[in-house]
Structure 1
């Protein structure tokens, strides 16, 4: 069962792009960019939990390899297993907006850049995220 948006064993980098003509031919038939677009739509509208994973797989749209595609399928299995999860707004006495942020500190294996993200919550539910 898949219970995380992306498993820690996925170490995606540009070095996983197709190296053989056969793999390149196979990946040319895979609708990678279309799937990334669909995931981004879900992420922006109702699924802040997949933001980091979608951001990671979208880095390789120009030349995805089989391991990138496996990561994409993992995200879809996660969504399939959590289809009943939704945003729940709880009634509170104070209407405070709370902000959380995080960084992976050089998590990009190719350029050694950090990825940051944030979420603003209201009534204990996300209202804005990146």
Structure 2
């Protein structure tokens, strides 16, 4: 369980109440949860989450560490690529694309999007339209 509050006394109060009903162990300050790293700036009064390690694992898993970086805003030369005209039509093309882990890549990136990277939502929305029949261009 992760407990967060502006005032540390509120956290202590809740922990005391919970320990009456449940056997508990205090593990101290949380550093990560569900694959997300927790960062805290006490002086600035900020708390934020990152998924740098998860993202690196995704990029390694799908051989994307050397991928060319682009902004998440789909620039004009990418917009024409998000079309059903690039979906495979014959059995040979479909067979080749069946070896590409398209759904796994999109799903892994969606976890990043939901947790810490909402800025990739538009691009993922575009590519997820072709989950059933993605083409090489997609």
Q: Provide TM-score, normalisation by structure 2.
A: 0.45
Pick 1 or 2: higher relative contact order, CA cutoff 8 A, min separation 6: 1
The TM-score, its normalising length taken from structure 1, stands at 0.48
Larger strand fraction of residues: 1
Return the structure number with greater helix share.
2
In our comparison, the structure showing a higher alpha carbon Rg is: 2
